[in-house]
Amino acid sequence: MTSTLREPVTLQGRIRTELQKLHDAHLHISPRVLEAPQRARTRILGRDVVNLASNNYLGFADHPFLKERAAQYLQRWGAGAGAVRTIAGTLQIHEDFETQLAAFKHTGSALVLQSGFTTNQGVLGTLLQEGDLVVSDELNHASIIDGLRLAKATKKVYRHKDLTDLRRVLDENPTDGLIMVVTDGVFSMDGDIAPLADIVALAREYGAVTYVDDAHGSGVLGEQGRGTVHHFGLQDAPDVLQIGTLSKAWGVVGGYAAGPADLRDLLINRARPFLFSTGHPPAVVGALSAAIDLVQQEGGFMERLWDNTRFFKAELHRLGFDTFGSETPITPVIFGEAETAFEASRRLLERGVFAVGLGFPTVPKGLARIRNIVTAEHTQDDLERALNAYEAVGREMGVIGG
Ligand code: PMP
């Protein structure tokens, strides 16, 4: 029986109220439309722009080598995977790519899931049980936070990269269950690197395993882009588990988990995003297998990425900008208040530079910023054009002197 006393909440009403809340809190986002491929130079609002907004670290998103293999796989293997891999059967190319990825990562096994986001959900949800303890860096990515919501373990947070605080949390929460320390390899907002060797050493004192989300370290750190775990020489550590994304440096889409030989088998059987969602289409698998081949066959991508990063950062510092201690191609420029960062982003776009402003709650209050991502594909001319725009906007807005 329906009540006639209250106005029902309508679909339109709910949508309108929620949108209004976002507008009122200045949190409403409308993505920019790119009128050309995702490259170091692209087009927005009919204008040629230098692109500092993507995670396309190696410039693979529109790379001919990836596109050619994607086209071959599309022709040979079709447009879709058919269904969930455990139901419809898994294509040979899915299996081959996972073997290739495990070899590249030097791990006993690897499994590919739909995205980095779902990988965190699947892996954390699978491994953590009641009675376990999971301790997570306060600046870990949203997908870790959501993944931990699915886990039944006791969840604690430690202060960003603070090993004293991590030790305190481990001391205060003893358990006979599995203990897991979770950290991003490279932090997505500040571009700093987790002190992984120290974290792993501390975790070991407590018999804990270390879980690294290497979304921003893959393709960026370690030999040929093998990631943060390799950067610290921990690739053979049996108590370190890596997950990562195939959507940033590797240019396409997907997530992976890489770890001990049996990890893959367990995740195939337990990870819910794997069990209940369809596998990648062949074109995606083709492009990804080409990406891993390319970085091994043709050197120079990481060198260009890091040369560009060093140059861009040094020039920003020379101009008087604060890049907040970033150690990687993620280069924040601090503007303070959110409105200032958003205004600077608008002015940069008018000057032909696409770089996104980020404010609270994505970053702490008072530390609103523009997050720039340098890539291997940027030319010296691109970076100089961006720096000229930064100098002009910084002076106009009184963020730098002169
Ligand atoms: N982890 C981190 C640290 C990330 O930055 C991201 C991407 N924003 C993800 C996971 C999710 O990856 P994907 O985009 O492949 O879902």
**Ligand 1 midpoint to CA 9 (Å):** 34
Asked if 376 and 308 touch (Cβ cutoff 8 Å), the reply is yes
Q: Is position 79 within any domain?
A: yes
Q: Final residue of a domain: which of 268, 297, 326?
A: 297
Q: Give the torsion through C-alpha atoms of 358, 217, 312, 140, to 10 deg.
A: 30
Kindly report the CATH number assigned to the domain that includes residue 350. 3.90.1150.10
Within this chain, do residues 148 and 258 fall inside the same structural domain, yes or no? Answer: yes
The pLDDT of residue 4: 66
Ligand 1 centre distance from Cα of residue 213 (Å): 8
Query: How many domains does the chain contain in total?
Result: 2
Identify which of 118, 123, 124, 143 to mutate to test ligand 1's pocket (most ligand atoms within 8 A of the CB): 143
Looking at residue 107, what is its pLDDT? 97
126 CB near ligand 1 (under 6 Å): no
Q: Domain range spanning residue 127?
A: 64-297
Same domain, 293 and 160: yes
Is 8 within a domain? Answer: no
Q: Is 28 a catalytic residue?
A: no
Determine which one of 141, 155, 216, 378 is catalytic. Answer: 216
Same domain as 355, residue 257: no
| 187 Cα: distance to centroid of ligand 1 (angstroms) | 11
Residue 6 lies in a domain: no
- Residue 327: the pLDDT is 97
| Choice among 188, 218, 289, 326 that is catalytic | 188
Q: How many CB atoms lie within 10 A of CB 94?
A: 20
Which residues have CB under 8 Å from 247's CB, separation 6+? 55, 115, 116, 253, 254, 255
In the prediction, which pLDDT does 1 show? 54
Residue where a domain stops, chosen among 247, 274, 297:
297
Q: Could you tell me if 44 and 112 lie in one domain?
A: no
289 included as an active-site residue: no
| Maximum C-alpha span of the chain | 71
Q: Is residue 15 part of a domain?
A: no
Q: Decide: 280 in ligand 1 pocket, CB within 6 A.
A: no
Q: Under the phi-then-psi rule, with left for phi > 0, alpha for psi from -120 to 50, and beta for the rest, what region is 98?
A: alpha
SS (H, E, C) 294-353: HHHHCCCHHHHHHHHHHHHHHHHHHHCCCCCCCCCCEEEEEEECHHHHHHHHHHHHHCCE
Write out the chain's pLDDT in tens, 402 residues. 555 678 899 999 999 999 999 999 888 989 999 999 999 999 999 999 999 999 999 999 999 999 999 999 999 999 999 999 999 999 999 999 999 999 999 999 999 999 999 999 999 999 999 999 999 999 999 999 999 999 999 999 999 999 999 999 999 999 999 999 999 999 999 999 999 999 999 999 999 999 999 999 999 999 999 999 999 999 999 999 999 999 999 999 999 999 999 999 999 999 999 999 999 999 999 999 999 999 999 989 999 999 999 999 999 999 999 999 999 999 999 999 999 999 999 999 999 999 999 998 889 999 999 999 999 999 999 999 999 999 999 999 999 986
Q: Which CATH number is 281's domain given?
A: 3.40.640.10
CA distance 370 to 308: 18
| 218 and 142 fall within a common domain | yes
Clarify whether residues 45 and 82 are in a common domain: no
Answer with the one of 258, 279, 297 that is the final residue of a domain. Answer: 297
Residues 172 and 266 placed together within one structural domain of the fold: yes
In a domain, 266, yes or no: yes
Kindly state whether residues 351 and 370 are assigned to the same domain.
Answer: yes
94 with 46, same domain: the answer is: no
Does 13 map to a domain? no
Could you tell me if the CB of 115 is within 6 A of ligand 1? yes
Place of tokens 């008018």: 350
Which residue CA neighbors atom 4 of ligand 1 most closely? 215
My answer on whether 169 and 311 are in the same domain is no
| Residues 228, 184 share a domain | yes
Q: How many alpha carbons fall within 13 Å on the CB side of residue 375? A: 25
From CA 213, how far away is CA 217, in angstroms rounded?
Answer: 9
To the question of pTM greater than 0.90 for the whole model, the response is: yes
253 in a structural domain: yes
Nearest Cα to Cα of residue 155 among 129, 135, 178: 135
Statement to judge: residues 327 and 233 lie in one domain: no
CA distance 120 to 272: 11
Query: Is 191 among the domain residues?
Result: yes
Entry field: residues in the chain: 402
